[in-house]
Amino acid sequence: MPKRSAGILLYKYDNEALFVLLVHPGGPFWSNRDLGAWSIPKGEYGPDEQPEAAARREFLEETGIAVNGAVASLGELRQKSGKLVTAYASESDLDISKIRSNLFEMEWPPHSGKTQAFPEVDRAGWFSLPDAREKINVSQRPFLDRLEASLSPE
């Protein structure tokens, strides 16, 4: 059974231009990576949790801010790793200066026997769709396309 993950892609309009919120993973492995490293705020969930509830929980854990409003489904996709990701969209003008991520611990430096804590998300940003398509993990790009299609007049 593949691992499952769920997240929320926030969007806003600024002077009629569409922007999306992406987060950058924390920790030493990601510290020098940029293009293709960003993600929607998301995380894993088990069989006893519904995807939307998991997406809301993970967004809160990774940003310190709850998404209380309505969300729209962006569907599911399979990442290169095989993990299934379910995403939702919600409009918000979230102030990224207020983002506070939870921490995770890992042995660092490797084989040192020392444990260090790192933020799960070390930064967040609002990106135009062209910029977001460069920044986001390539396997999550279809969520940007689905969001754009869902917001376009028919």
Give the domain extent around 117: 4-151
Which residues in the chain land under pLDDT 70?
Answer: 154
pLDDT of residue 152: 84
pLDDT of residue 154: 63
pLDDT tens track for 47-82:
999 999 999 999 999 999 999 999 999 999 998 889
* Average pLDDT score, the chain: 94
Quick check: helix, strand or coil at residue 146?
helix
In terms of Cα–Cα distance, which of 14, 16, 87, 105 is closest to 45?
87
Cα 4 to chain center, whole Å?
14
* 85 residue type, one letter: V
**What's the whole-model pTM score?**
0.93
Residues 152 and 73: their CA atoms lie apart, in Å, by 15
Give the CATH number of the domain where residue 88 resides.
3.90.79.10
List C-alpha distances in Å: 125 to 11, 14, 91, 110, 152.
11, 14, 15, 30, 23
Q: What are the backbone angles phi and psi of residue 28, rounded to the nearest 5°?
A: -65, -30
pLDDT of residue 153: 75
135, 37 contact by CB (below 8 A):
yes
pLDDT of residue 148: 96
pLDDT of residue 31: 86
- The number of domains in the chain is 1
